[in-house]
Structure 1
Amino acid sequence: MEKVIVYEYDKRNFKEIEKLIEEQDSVIVDWAIFNKKGNEDKVEFSAGTEAVYIDISSLLFNEDRAENLIGLIVPFLNITLENYECDIYIIVDKRYSEIIKNTLYLRISEIQKLEILLGMPHESINNVVDIDEAMFNSMIHHLNSNLFGNDNFKKRLKEELIKYRLFNKIGEQPIFSVFICGESGIGKTEIARLLHNYLTPTEKMIKINFGNYSDENALSSLIGSPRGYVGSNKGELSEKILRSKSKIILIDEFEKASKPVFNFFLELLEDGNFTDSLGREFDLNKYLIVFTSNIKKQDVSKTISPELMSRFNFMCQLNPLSQEDKQNYISYKKNQMIKKIEEKLNIKLNETQMIDIMNIDTRTIQNLRDINTKIMNNISKQIGFR
């Protein structure tokens, strides 16, 4: 049974899409005109029609009924591919792409952008491999400017990413994975957040926290459990990948994962893809996965097997910030917060107030979250909020 490609479109572009398709001597039709015909009957199109774009969106307006209704489209999938001389494309409003993936995953090979197929302008590059050298250097500058301390780590990360960009392009390294350990609150998760915000600032971040998982159900929580099982679910990792165009995945508190989860990532990092409990295939080529852990570097081998450690492209430990780094961070964070207050609340602070906000004794504070709390408390005092 041959699988087909479905092309999703942005409803906001529909008038432009219709015009372009018409200019290409092609037509858009609703799926229902095929459903009215028998399996052996062809739908006739005007002579010279180059392509027919079959829109299945009307099947999916009512999400509660969609899973039952979508079965109506299956019988003509092979008909459309075999019985017509013109090109046939299945298209859908991108708002319903997730439903399509969940219900027709056995018949669909992948979902692509209709705008790209038609040669229309489309979204910017969203991965670390395909950006050009100037944008890559800009991304590294963004990371270095907003991540304080740990200069050796930042240097090594750049070197490893340069190597990854090279070997991914020749098919040797599908995924880049970095394992970062160290004390809580020193910037481990911020690395993934900075990369995500630079490449895809408008998308939801793909973040999995194993501190929220129970050992017994961790793998099912991650990739789902089969249909029909009591308490079945679609899987947090699968769903978040489907809902975001980000190519950065943050796996937080990885040391708390169960053995089946460790084995899952052992295979994922080797193959670059996985299949979830519903049989949906996920190709993670050009994805960057950041694993974080609060354990010390010398204790990593007590929790994670040598086989899994060998799959990580880069392993490191972040060190607590120096006093100078903490003061630089306070200045950076203070300016960031004050700018938002001035823009959104139209509140101006004078130079004396700025100095008072910076008055934080960080000698006994290592956690950046605690420093953030001190900054916020000082700002609140200065502007009179309680």
Structure 2
Amino acid sequence: MDKKIIYEYDRRNRELFTQQIENNSGCIVNWAFFSKNDNNYQLPQGTKSLFIDISSLFHSEDRADIIIPLLEALFNATSDGAEIHYIVESQYAKTLSDYLYYRVEGIQSLEEKIGIELDEINNIVDIDNDKFNTIMSHFSYQLFGNQIFKDRFKEELIKYRFFNRIGCQPIFSVLICGASGIGKTEVARILHRELSPNEPVIKINFGNYSTQDALNSLIGSPRGYIGSSKGELTDKLQHSKSKVILIDEFEKAGKPVYNFFLQMLEDGRFTDSLGREYDLNKYIIVFTSNMSKENVGQYIPPELRSRFSCKFSFGLLSKDEKEAYIKYKLKQYSEQIMKSYGNICESDLENVVSIDVSKYQNIRDINNEIMRQLAQSLYDKIVDNNGEGS
């Protein structure tokens, strides 16, 4: 009984490899289409290779005794004149290999096989040193206040880049505590923008979860569970190539979730409720919490605290730091406004914002006030020229 090579693929590269296969006289078909036609299918004239996608076999909770006979039949299929290959989404590759270990010779990358050029490096480990230093410079410029943290953060990332490359530290994790609106979540957002600006942000907010059911909400409910659903984390990992995860309001997670992250930070991987494994090697996970550093021990157990690569408590911004933030946001908004509205020029934006920073401790509130004053000053000019009746 001959064994087959299975080619796994990242579903986010679907458009790329489909185009490449078609350009090389290939054809992709779903396993259901192939099997229903019972060898009476008609391939496009000149087809040299046929790629049978068996991913949808694993989309539901079908039992192995149903899936295995279907796979056996597909593995015995023949096609006149076209070489047959079997492809599957990467998250199902291990399950497939486990089901038909006696028929699977190995799992290889479909993207590598057909020679498509993948996106540039999007993780903090594999970028070269020049790009790393550039990102750290941008990071320091865009994150206001907490200079000690920024210096320490860079040092810890340098250590992580070294040890990850020798297989000793799969994930970089940082726990940041402090009051709301002082830049904690910006740590993750800045890194995401620098590494994967065109990808969806991977953010989990435990303030939106019920403590009792938080773990199921995170990685999905077990099979047969009433109200079973996929997990938010697993779903977002499947739909984003970003290697930065933001975990917000972590103190609200609860013991089952703490135990989950305890194991995940140690192993660099986790298994969801359906048995699918996710490898988080080279990921950065930023955990944020509004609790003070004095209260960390009341929420997060010591064994989990010891797993974090870096722990820090953010302080409030000084007067000079808040004023620097206002200048930064005004420059950012000015560029966006002038680009979006042709009738707004630089002179229209001069001296339209005046803020007494002593009234604000929270930079989120400062940002809201900047936006309010800009809108108040420019709204009539924008409506008059781009208005509602045009």
**Normalising TM by the smaller chain, what interval?**
0.7 to 0.9
Summarize the alignment of residues 202-281 of structure 1 with structure 2, pairs less than 5 Å apart: 202-281=198-277
Shift of 1:168: 0.5
Deviation by residue 1:2-22 (Cα, 9 ceiling, x = unmatched): 9944235533553433334x5
The partner residue of 1:54 within 34, 51, 66 is 51
Matches of 2:328 and 2:142, distance apart in 1: 8
In structure 2, the residue matched to 1:326 is 322
Summarize the alignment of residues 82-231 of structure 1 with structure 2, pairs less than 5 Å apart: 89-91=85-87, 97=89, 101=91, 106-107=95-96, 114-231=110-227
1:381 aligns with 2:376: yes
In structure 2, the residue matched to 1:296 is 292
Report the CA distance shift for 1:14/1:236 in structure 2 as closer, same or farther (over 3 A).
closer
Deviation by residue 1:115-159 (Cα, 9 ceiling, x = unmatched): 332222221111111111111111111111111111111111111
Matches of 1:5 and 1:114, distance apart in 2: 5
Contact kept, 8 Å, 2:6 with 2:108, in 1: the verdict is: no
The code of the aligned residue for 2:194 comes to Y
Report the CA distance shift for 1:13/1:261 in structure 2 as closer, same or farther (over 3 A).
closer
Contact kept, 8 Å, 1:180 with 1:316, in 2: the verdict is: yes
The code of the aligned residue for 2:153 comes to L
Q: Which moved more, 1:10-19 or 1:161-170?
A: 10-19
In structure 1, the residue matched to 2:23 is 19
The code of the aligned residue for 2:241 comes to K
The code of the aligned residue for 2:224 comes to G
Contact kept, 8 Å, 1:105 with 1:279, in 2: the verdict is: no
In structure 2, the residue matched to 1:46 is none
The code of the aligned residue for 2:281 comes to N
- TM (norm. structure 1) is 0.82
Deviation by residue 1:233-259 (Cα, 9 ceiling, x = unmatched): 111111111111111000001011111
Matches of 2:161 and 2:50, distance apart in 1: 36
Matches of 1:171 and 1:54, distance apart in 2: 35
In structure 2, the residue matched to 1:75 is 69
The code of the aligned residue for 1:19 comes to N
The code of the aligned residue for 1:303 comes to Y
Among all aligned residue pairs of Structure 1 and Structure 2, give the percentage whose two residues are the same amino acid: 46
Where do 5+ consecutive residues of structure 2 fail to align?
Answer: 42-46, 99-105, 384-390
The code of the aligned residue for 1:55 comes to I
Matches of 2:61 and 2:269, distance apart in 1: 29
Matches of 1:186 and 1:207, distance apart in 2: 18
Summarize the alignment of residues 329-348 of structure 1 with structure 2, pairs less than 5 Å apart: 329-348=325-344
Matches of 1:254 and 1:221, distance apart in 2: 14
In structure 2, the residue matched to 1:360 is 355
Matches of 2:293 and 2:160, distance apart in 1: 24
Matches of 1:333 and 1:379, distance apart in 2: 11
Superposition CA RMSD, Å:
3.5
Deviation by residue 1:50-79 (Cα, 9 ceiling, x = unmatched): x9542328x96xx9x974999997536457
Shift of 1:315: 0.3
Q: Which moved more, 1:3-12 or 1:255-264?
A: 3-12
Matches of 2:365 and 2:19, distance apart in 1: 51
Find the residue that maps to 2:159 and give its secondary structure. helix
Shift of 1:321: 0.8
Report the CA distance shift for 1:81/1:137 in structure 2 as closer, same or farther (over 3 A).
farther
Matches of 1:121 and 1:324, distance apart in 2: 46
The code of the aligned residue for 2:378 comes to I
Matches of 1:202 and 1:29, distance apart in 2: 27
Matches of 1:320 and 1:55, distance apart in 2: 57
Report the CA distance shift for 1:74/1:202 in structure 2 as closer, same or farther (over 3 A).
farther
Find the residue that maps to 1:129 and give its secondary structure. coil
Report the CA distance shift for 1:91/1:2 in structure 2 as closer, same or farther (over 3 A).
closer
Contact kept, 8 Å, 1:53 with 1:91, in 2: the verdict is: no
- TM (norm. structure 2) is 0.81
Contact kept, 8 Å, 2:6 with 2:87, in 1: the verdict is: no
Report the CA distance shift for 1:17/1:322 in structure 2 as closer, same or farther (over 3 A).
same
Contact kept, 8 Å, 1:6 with 1:108, in 2: the verdict is: no
Matches of 1:333 and 1:108, distance apart in 2: 52
Contact kept, 8 Å, 1:175 with 1:286, in 2: the verdict is: yes
Report the CA distance shift for 1:83/1:258 in structure 2 as closer, same or farther (over 3 A).
same
